[in-house]
């Protein structure tokens, strides 16, 4: 039986591409991307969805805010529910979702973050790791809870910060790690190899 996911993103969609390519090349088992949603009307992630023949929608108030408004929340929840997904994947979704959103899909929302949480939550995480004295950073997939970037960790992939690294090369390494980690976690959840917290 298909394991349906809905992907939410705000930008380029390189992680959505990693998922869609893995799915298209039969590397994701029963995983089926049901739709891609964005808070940005002309986000490249929506064009990407179209190029893979997937339904896509933008829900935008046109205002740049850190948090989704109540009305945007209502519209996102309604749209996502119409696809009845098993999992909601935040892949570069740059808006904070509120309690109502989280409760509507309790225990079914995962987020990708470009650091080894609990280090460097919030924004500019790769930059902060690069500027720190740490020798390792990476990426994390975690369950979404009301506390920002602080839900239970599902998987992490580390990346070394080498003396020869520039911010650009480190960013590239973190993204490459993300493109492997996120599809791997989704596959694990679809097969039961990784358990849902609510089970
Ligand atoms: C990714 O690096 C992801 O970890 C980050 O946004 C990027 C999206 O790239 N997410 C966050 O910072 C969430 N707080 P993409 O659009 O190319 O997939």
38 vs 106: which has the higher pLDDT:
38
Distance CA 132, CA 139 (A): 16
User: Would you call 119 a catalytic residue per the annotation?
Assistant: no
Ligand 1 mutation target, pool 12, 15, 37, 116, most atoms within 8 A of CB: 15
Q: Which two tokens stand for residue 16?
A: 């959505």
0.95 surpassed by pTM: yes
Q: Which two tokens stand for residue 7?
A: 């992907």
* Ligand 1 centroid to residue 5 C-alpha, Å: 18
Distance CA 137, CA 52 (A): 32
Average pLDDT over the chain reads 96
Delineate the domains of the chain, giving CATH numbers in brackets: 3-191 (3.40.50.170)
Confidence of residue 199 (pLDDT cuts 50, 70, 90): very low
Of 163, 170, 169, 81, which Cα lies nearest the Cα of 125?
A: 170
Pocket of ligand 1 (CB under 6 A): 9, 11-15, 91-92, 112-114, 175, 178
pLDDT, one tens digit per residue, over 53-62 is 999 999 987 7
Of 38, 156, 154, which Cα lies nearest the Cα of 107?
A: 154
* Ligand 1 centroid to residue 126 C-alpha, Å: 10
Burial of 194 (0-12, 13-18, 19+ CB in 10 A): middle
Q: What is the widest separation between alpha-carbon atoms in the chain?
A: 49
Of 57, 113, 142, 175, which residue is the catalytic one? 113
Say how many CA atoms lie within 13 Å of 126 toward its Cβ.
21
């Amino acid at each position: 039986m298909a394991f349906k996911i809905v992907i939410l993103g705000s930008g380029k969609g390189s992680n959505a591409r990693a998922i869609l390519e893995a799915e298209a090349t039969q590397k994701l088992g029963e995983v089926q991307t049901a739709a891609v949603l964005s808070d940005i009307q002309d986000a490249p992630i929506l064009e990407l969805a179209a190029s893979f023949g997937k339904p896509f929608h933008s829900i935008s108030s046109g205002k740049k805010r850190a948090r989704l408004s109540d009305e945007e929340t209502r519209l996102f929840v309604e749209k996502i529910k119409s696809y009845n997904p098993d999992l909601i994947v935040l892949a570069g979704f740059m808006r904070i979702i509120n309690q109502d959103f989280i409760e509507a899909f309790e225990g079914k929302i995962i987020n990708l973050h470009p650091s080894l949480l609990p280090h460097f939550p919030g924004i500019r995480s790769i930059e902060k790791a690069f500027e720190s004295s740490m020798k390792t950073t990476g990426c994390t997939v975690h369950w979404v809870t009301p506390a920002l970037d602080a839900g239970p960790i599902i998987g992490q992939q580390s990346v070394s910060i080498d003396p020869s690294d520039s911010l650009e090369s480190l960013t590239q390494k973190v993204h490459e790690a993300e493109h492997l980690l996120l599809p791997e976690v989704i596959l694990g959840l679809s097969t039961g190899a990784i358990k849902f917290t609510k089970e």
